[in-house]
Structure 1
Amino acid sequence: MFKKTDLILFLLKRYLRFDKTQPFISITAVLAFVGVGVGVMVLIVAMAIMNGMSKEFEKKLFVMNYPLTLFATSHKGISKNILDQLESKFPHLVFSPYLRIQSVARANGIMSAGIVFGVDIQKEAKINEILAKALQGVDIKDFYQDKFSLIVGEGLKDALVLEKNSKLSLFFTKLEPTGLTFSPTMKRFDVKGFFDSGLKAYDTSYIYTNLAAIGAIKNIKPDIYDGIHVFSKDPMNDIDKIKQALLEIPNYGIGVEGWWQQNGNFFSAMALEKRVLFIVLMLIILMASLNIISSLLMVIMNRRKEIALLLSLGASSREIKKTFFWLGNFIGIGGIILGIILSMLTLYILSTFPIISLPADVYGITRLPIDLSMTDFFSTIVGAIVIVCISSYYPAKKASKVNALSILRNE
């Protein structure tokens, strides 16, 4: 005597065979299988590329923007005493004070505007890997023995035709005591090295020197800073802790900003683009699932006499419904597995071989970044399974409603 599961398995094997008398039905099922597979593959690959591009841009922006930045909201600046308090209260964070001033650089008869950061070279190198890389082969003692030393970007190097140990003149403006005029200040610096962030805007306009040089030019006390760069592994939580700590300091006059606030519009746009792309590409799977519906309906129409006979011999409507539901799921989930295999193969090829090259002057990278998020992966799989199950349910329900008596009488 057959069990219910035995009957369902028997019918599944029978209906999955290639039907020579009705080849179009089998071809439709194959198209549904391949369509779901291609849809899943395209969606996973697209999400991996979008996530990779987002992480790459985030990494590039981190170089100059830092996870957290403290900045003075008054002319008093940030004192070393406050820096020491924060370092003792948050030993897991890395703090790097800075001074900032705008300037015009001139060399070889060429001029270019930029922003000069006075930093503690050793502390800044701990949180800025691009600067740390630029300091390789550079004697850091030069920045302490000769305070007028510079690290400039590759973009500025090319624009002003600079070489290592070149002289670079920087022009600054200073407000006169009358408050009515600006007077220019010029100082010659020694170029000790070059950094390459991969972003031309930074490489052309950012210049690094030490705190003493900018402090002398701005004529401020040695232990006063314009702001502090902060490295944190969890900046979204640490920002609230730092704000709370600053509230305990009377008249501190300090603001705190996270990287997501500095570039909020950019990353919000990328996140929106990613969500829209996910929805649009999910429609590919939805369209492929329509083939599952049409294939199952054609099987039901072609096998209605068999279904009626099974019902008359004692098979329940529930068994018929389960048979066609799992028939559609077999086609759809098989397509999902095919899509996963194809996507893994595609991602491996894209990450291993330079099939797609990117212009470095536009993106700052030459190879296509791939970063498959497990959240995106499982969201794709779950979404595809839901679509397949919904597509299989309607034909299965239709099959269970077959009127056995009417069909057997007319046939």
Structure 2
Amino acid sequence: MTVPGSPLLVLLALSVLTALGVVAYNRPSSLELRVALRYLRSRRSSRLLSLITVIAVGGVTVGVTALVLVLGVMNGLQSDLREKILIASPHLRVLTYGEGLRLDDWERVLAQVRRTSGVDAASPFVLTQGLVSAGHDYAEGVFVLGVDPDTGTRAVTSLARHFTKGDLRFRTTRVGVEGGLALGTRLASKLSAYPGDVVTLVAAAGSRFNPSLGAFIPRYHRFEVTGLFDTGMYEYDNSYVAMDRRVAQRFADLDKAVTGLEVRLADPWQARAFGLRLETELGYPYRALDWQSQNASLFSALKLEKLAMAVVVFLICVVAA
């Protein structure tokens, strides 16, 4: 017994596998053309398409179109998310093991990393935490990111291109401040702090114990807001403060040390393999952290969602066929 819709289901399955990238499908074979022509032609002498054929072909066409559109949207979402993540996050970070989590001989390591094949740019960075206040009782916990001033084509991330006001030179106009800093737009809105205003940062590191009070006394730092950035990522715009790397070293009480190195690669998709190779070359106590590992759970969720959407649309196509 021949099932009229079975060849259409075969063609539908081929279309789905092609859309998912499971099989390579360039042009229809002679067998596929014969099957398609057989079911497009009417067995009647009038050569008119039967209503069943029109409905079947139309259902498959609409279903495959919907599948391609859904997968295209999911791929675009994943690509857009990756670009936003890499605005302030590098392809690879070179860090160390140990209690201090600081890189003291970073200049030697930086020179070695820059000589490695596949590296487009590399620079030191400081990443610490603190509390920021704009002259009132409310304080917000933030990540303090210390980067080198705008280095043009040698920049590791694209953060400089997302400044709405100011830039990475952090030029100050106020007296009595330790330097300039840039706030994410959401953070600036919450604090009501904008370029020209002075904010207070409380350092998480470097607190001193006061025997008289029997408690640790935090260190307070005054900075001028010199810029705002808008990346489109809530985490960056709501929780990040950027400043000159040398100022951040003093703020984090690192002296001449840094937190680690940021690396931009020629091929960001090879970051994991490159990191493993770099760990072998540098040896202990150095370690490499790639952007894919940092966001593995997020991309796994997107991949699962993409697969689920493809299965749902495929089942709809089967019913339509």
For normalisation by structure 2, the TM-score amounts to 0.74
Whole-Å separation in 2 of the counterparts to 1:36 and 1:11: 13
> Structure 1: any 5+ residue segments left out of the alignment?
1-8, 290-411
Larger radius of gyration: 1
Whether 1:257 and 2:289 are equivalent positions in the alignment is yes
Q: How many percent of aligned residue pairs carry the same amino acid?
A: 23
Give the structure with the higher percent strand.
2
* Paired residues of 2:168 and 2:243 also in contact (CA < 8 A): no
* Paired residues of 1:235 and 1:258 also in contact (CA < 8 A): no
Q: 1:38 aligns with which of 42, 48, 62?
A: 62
The amino acid across from 1:100 in the alignment is L
Offset at residue 10 of structure 1 (A)? 11
The amino acid across from 1:116 in the alignment is V
* Paired residues of 1:115 and 1:207 also in contact (CA < 8 A): yes
Structure-2 change in CA distance of 1:32 and 1:245 (3 Å): closer
The residue number in structure 2 matching 1:133 is 162
Whether 1:278 and 2:310 are equivalent positions in the alignment is yes
Offset at residue 264 of structure 1 (A)? 0.8
Offset at residue 229 of structure 1 (A)? 1.7
Whole-Å separation in 2 of the counterparts to 1:156 and 1:138: 17
Whether 1:208 and 2:239 are equivalent positions in the alignment is no
The amino acid across from 2:310 in the alignment is F
The residue number in structure 1 matching 2:108 is 81
Offset at residue 238 of structure 1 (A)? 4.7
Whole-Å separation in 2 of the counterparts to 1:11 and 1:148: 75
Q: 2:230 aligns with which of 180, 196, 215?
A: 196
Q: 1:113 aligns with which of 120, 141, 148?
A: 141
The amino acid across from 1:89 in the alignment is T
The amino acid across from 2:140 in the alignment is S
The residue number in structure 1 matching 2:125 is 98
Whole-Å separation in 1 of the counterparts to 2:113 and 2:92: 13
Whole-Å separation in 2 of the counterparts to 1:169 and 1:206: 15
The residue number in structure 1 matching 2:28 is none
Q: How does 1:343-358 map to 2 (within 5 A)?
A: none
For normalisation by structure 1, the TM-score amounts to 0.59
Structure-2 change in CA distance of 1:16 and 1:157 (3 Å): farther
Q: How does 1:268-347 map to 2 (within 5 A)?
A: 268-289=300-321
Whole-Å separation in 2 of the counterparts to 1:203 and 1:77: 26
* Paired residues of 1:239 and 1:258 also in contact (CA < 8 A): yes
The residue number in structure 2 matching 1:232 is 265
Structure-2 change in CA distance of 1:255 and 1:108 (3 Å): same
The residue number in structure 2 matching 1:148 is 179
1:171-191 residue CA offsets vs partner (Å, 9 max, x unmatched): 113344799953211111011
Q: What secondary structure, in the 3-state scheme, does the structure 1 residue paired with 2:190 have? A: helix
Structure-2 change in CA distance of 1:130 and 1:249 (3 Å): closer
Q: 1:63 aligns with which of 87, 97, 102?
A: 87
Whole-Å separation in 2 of the counterparts to 1:11 and 1:88: 63
Structure-2 change in CA distance of 1:141 and 1:52 (3 Å): closer
Whole-Å separation in 2 of the counterparts to 1:85 and 1:178: 43
Offset at residue 220 of structure 1 (A)? 2.6
Whole-Å separation in 2 of the counterparts to 1:194 and 1:11: 62
The residue number in structure 2 matching 1:294 is none
Whole-Å separation in 2 of the counterparts to 1:240 and 1:157: 38
Structure-2 change in CA distance of 1:17 and 1:105 (3 Å): farther
